[in-house]
Amino acid sequence: MSAVEKRLSELGIQLPVPAAAVANYVPYVVTGNLVFVSGQLPLENGKPAVQGKLGAQVGIEDGVRAARLCALGLLAQLKAAVGDLDRVKRVVRLTAFVASDPSFTDQPKVVNGASDLMVEVLGEAGRHARVAVGAPSLPLDVAVEIEGIFEIA
């Protein structure tokens, strides 16, 4: 068992089955020592888990949960791409889209759900640059979508 998988087990986390692409794109691209992972939605058992807009139907706590689920999807895709999560040298950047009511301004608090998970699982290698943007709507009416760039060995 790899060190990262051991850490996931210690945290009681099981990675989901990587979501299949649903349009004309691929779930990830490996080029050189970088892995670009397409936007991941907050899914549980393959279905949207948190839907609606932050500041309207969805509270910050559920938004944080949605971001965490997106991060688990990112890690699942990353494992599919490279086989062993111990190859991850660094999370380079996460770009997060938060479906938001026009007056909602706490997107960074929501996206901490993903950022915190990356550090919990990967330690210092999980610290990253980040973008947290409000969006008027997202696919399947989900509350959050996150893409990532990772450096691998």
Query: What's the pTM?
Result: 0.97
Ramachandran region, residue 91 (left: φ > 0; alpha: ψ -120 to 50; beta: rest): beta
DSSP E strands in 57-115: the ranges are: 88-99
Residue whose structure tokens are 């960074």:
108
Confidence of residue 17 (pLDDT cuts 50, 70, 90): very high
Residue 92 in this model has a pLDDT that exceeds 90: yes
**Residue range 107-124: average pLDDT?**
98
Distance CA 83, CA 100 (A): 35
* Helix, coil or strand: residue 116: helix
Residues forming beta bridges with residue 36, ordered by sequence position = 29, 149
In the chain, where the domains are located: 3-152
Q: Is the pLDDT of residue 98 over 90?
A: yes
Fold of 3-152: 60s Ribosomal Protein L30; Chain: A; (3.30.1330)
Residue 1: is its pLDDT beyond 90?
Answer: no
Q: Determine the Cα–Cα distance for residues 8 and 10; give it in Å rounded to an integer.
A: 5
Length of the chain: 153
